[in-house]
Amino acid sequence: MAKLLLNGNHAAANACKDVGVQVIAAYPITPQSPTVELLSQFVEDGTLKAEFVRVESEHSAITVCIAASSTGARVFTASSANGLCLMHEQLHWAAGSRLPIVLACVNRAPAAPWNVWTDEQDSISQRDTGWIQLYCEDNQEVYDTIIQAYRLGEDPDIYAPVMVCYDGYILSHTLMPVETIDDKESIKKFLPAFKPHSKLDPDDPCIINLVTFPWIRHDHPGMCHRFCLDTLR
């Protein structure tokens, strides 16, 4: 273990680095922004080998995560308040497709009245979209829970997106001692490589989440509405 002095946002970013997230897409919003800013720095300096996708909105950020997760990548995004509200439509898509996306929700009051202070109504308003929600009490829990969220969401018996929630400013911008894991092999042992229930692949074309063909593969209950093009032919 290494003990670092981290705020909640940087604890989340360090957890993503340590689990080897492969794709990050996010749009800045207070008080979430430092989370992905540090991740972009990790990617830039080569500390984290991942793709950082710059997008024009939170709706696009979650859409990128959906696409990347559908190809078998381990993905991460973060948001707060009105940004999470803008993701709402696609949160349903992620859950319905059983994609183990991890999203850090740095809890903040949505408008109106306009303010940037702590209020968990942003995540609570998304509770029926099908995401597992986990709430953290301190920055050590933020770090630990991000890692556990991937283990939980990628479990073949679950396959679900996970929202890790922590209070804006109270945790996101407050420094606390956080024990991080130096031994990456122990993380790999706890969190094996992501094995998706279905995977978009040019060499094995398929349609995922069909609207007009509610057909489910009974040999793999975790696979939602997958219809091979060969069958359509």
Task: Convert the pLDDT of each residue in 26-61 to its tens digit.
Answer: 999 999 999 999 999 999 999 999 999 999 999 999
DSSP string, 96-163: HTT---EEEEEE-PPSSSP--S--THHHHTTGGGS-EEEE-SSHHHHHHHHHHHHHHHT-TTT---EE
Asked whether residue 59 falls in the same domain as residue 171, the answer is yes
Whether 168 shows a pLDDT value over 70: the answer reads: yes
Q: Which residue has the higher pLDDT, 216 or 101?
A: 101
Q: How many domains does the chain have?
A: 2
Phi-psi region of 69 (alpha: psi -120 to 50; beta: other; left: phi over 0): alpha
Q: Based on the domain organization, do 71 and 137 belong to the same domain?
A: yes
Q: Are residues 147 and 205 in the same domain?
A: no
Residues 11 and 126 grouped into a single domain = yes
Residues 8 and 58 occupy one common structural domain: yes
State how far the Cα of 195 lies from the Cα of 69, in Å rounded to an integer.
10
- Do 139 and 211 share a domain, yes or no? no
Statement to judge: residues 106 and 149 lie in one domain: yes
For residues 177-197, average pLDDT: 92
Using CA atoms, how far residue 8 sits from 120, 166, 210, in Å, is: 16, 8, 39
pLDDT average, residue stretch 160-167: 98
Claim to verify: residue 229 and residue 170 sit in the same structural domain: no
Name the DSSP class of 224: -
Cβ–Cβ < 8 Å for 159, 222? yes
- Domain with 149, as residue range(s), is 2-190
Residues 172 and 205 in one domain: no
pTM, two decimals, is: 0.88
Percentage of the chain lying above the pLDDT 70 cut: 88
Average pLDDT of the residues in 177-206: 88
Q: What is the distance, to the nearest Å, from the Cα of residue 187 to the centroid of all Cα atoms in its chain? A: 18
Q: Both 58 and 16 in a single domain?
A: yes
pLDDT attached to residue 114: 77
The one-character DSSP state at 48 is S
Residue 191 has pLDDT above 60, yes or no: yes
Mean pLDDT calculated for residue range 3-22: 98
Is the pLDDT at 115 greater than 90? The verdict is: no
Whole-number mean pLDDT of the chain?
Answer: 90
For residues 70 and 181, membership in a common domain is answered with: yes
Domain with residue 40: its CATH number is: 3.40.50.970
Structure confidence at residue 233 (pLDDT): 45
Examine the domain organization and report whether 76 and 175 are in the same domain: yes
Residue 112 has pLDDT above 60, yes or no: yes
Residue 145: what residue type?
Answer: T
The edge-to-edge listing of strands for the beta sheet with 102-107 is 51-54, 23-26, 75-79, 102-107, 162-167, 132-135
**Between 221 and 106, whose confidence is greater?**
106
